[in-house]
Amino acid sequence: MVSPVRIDLHTHSDRSDGTTPPADLVAHAHAFGIDVLALTDHDTTEGWAEAAAAARRLGVTLVPGIEISCRFAGHGVHLLAYLPDPTFPPLVEELARILDGRRSRLPATLAKLRGLGIDIDTDDVRRAAAGAVAMGRPHVADVLVAKGVVRNREEAFDLFLRTGGPAYVERYAADLVAMVHTVAAAGGMTVLAHPWASRHHHEALDRDGLARLAEAGLAGVEVDHQDHDAAARQRLRDIAADLDLVVTGSSDYHGAGKLDHEIGCNTTAQDCYERLVALARAAAAASGRSAPAVVGA
């Protein structure tokens, strides 16, 4: 019997809030028996080239992606974008705006922490986020860990940084429906990341919301994710089947930055992956953009 192809379509490197450089991430995936890997750093394509070189060296198939910070009905939502032309100006502009929002939020976050008696300065966070283009709350969390205020990122979020928490500050995020269109116009294809994760779950992403997104051109939903329990996975799978959305499963690996998210802990079925690649190819042809190809396919 031929062993099944192992496909993990959502991982982070240290170009955002993962702890592994892109090349090491690919090597780690290879060592774990992953055949097809997507690099999906938050709001940046910065790791693509390094990951692609490592993938070629090791014989791993690499799908270049981005996890884009979006907003839908007033709530933060993460959108996985695969294979868009990274030079498409509307996409470049939106990502720049999001990254700028990440940077300009930092002083406000630190001021809130100071108000709670915790003194951290910008340079501490810059150092913690050394390789990252997309800096964020996890890097602030790392400084809190280094200073002994909390034991790990999880505790930093629980006590201070979680949405609505005492040191939480909102930042700019792109309109979700507009971004689905933008990625399509860039020759790529979109999958909604962990729509029912407890941190993000909100009523707007019910069946009707997902139907609206499917109509806008969303290709798939991430069903198998550590933040979805068995009941949520089943219900989402049913809705996806109804709406003809492709089902994916992924680890959302962040290196040492996220516990219980080891690479390959959830995977995507090969037929689902092939459907996604075909949709991306169709989008690329329709857009007239020179979208990137899957590396090593």
Positions that interact with Zn ion (CB under 5 A): 67, 252
Residue 154 binding target from Fe ion, ligand AMP, Zn ion, none, CB below 5 to 8 Å by type: ligand AMP
Q: Does 17 bind Fe ion (CB under 5 A)?
A: yes
Q: Scanning residues 150 to 179, which ones bind ligand AMP (CB under 6 A)?
A: 153-154, 157
Would you give the DSSP letter of residue 266?
S
Q: Does 14 bind Fe ion (CB under 5 A)?
A: no
Looking at the Cβ atoms of 17 and 35, the one nearer to ligand AMP is 17
Distance CA 232, CA 30 (A): 30
Tokens of 70: 């979006």
Q: Does 254 bind ligand AMP (CB under 6 A)?
A: yes
Among 22, 84, 86, 138, binds ligand AMP (CB under 6 A): 138
Q: Does 15 bind ligand AMP (CB under 6 A)?
A: no
**Dmax of the chain from CA atoms?**
62
**Minimum CB distance to Fe ion, residue 67 (Å):** 5
Q: Does 222 bind ligand AMP (CB under 6 A)?
A: no
Q: Binding string, 165-204, against Fe ion, x = CB under 5 A?
A: ----------------------------x-----------
**Minimum CB distance to ligand AMP, residue 279 (Å):** 25
Would you give the DSSP letter of residue 159?
I
CB 291 within 8 A of CB 187: yes
**Minimum CB distance to ligand AMP, residue 156 (Å):** 7
Distance CA 169, CA 166 (A): 9
Q: Does 227 bind Fe ion (CB under 5 A)?
A: no
Distance CA 131, CA 112 (A): 25
* DSSP bridge partners of 224: 249
**Minimum CB distance to Fe ion, residue 289 (Å):** 25
Q: Which residue is nearest to Zn ion (CB)?
A: 252
**Minimum CB distance to ligand AMP, residue 243 (Å):** 26
Distance CA 167, CA 86 (A): 33
The site that binds ligand AMP (CB under 6 A) totals a number of residues, namely 11
Distance CA 223, CA 218 (A): 14
Q: Which residue has the tokens 């700028």?
A: 100
Among 47, 64, 65, 136, binds ligand AMP (CB under 6 A): 136
Distance CA 2, CA 20 (A): 31
- 81-120 burial string, b = 16+ CB within 10 Å, else e? bbbbbbebeebeebbeebbebbeebbeebbebbeeeebeb
Distance CA 47, CA 143 (A): 23
Residue 258 binding target from Zn ion, ligand AMP, Fe ion, none, CB below 5 to 8 Å by type: ligand AMP
Q: Which residue is nearest to ligand AMP (CB)?
A: 136
Task: Return the axis-axis angle of helices 176-185 and 207-216, rounded to nearest 10°.
Answer: 30
Q: Does 137 bind ligand AMP (CB under 6 A)?
A: yes
C-alpha to C-alpha distances, 287 to 43, 86, 165, 284, nearest whole angstrom: 21, 13, 42, 5
Binding residues for ligand AMP (CB under 6 A): 17, 42, 136-138, 153-154, 157, 199, 254, 258
Binding residues for Fe ion (CB under 5 A): 17, 78, 193
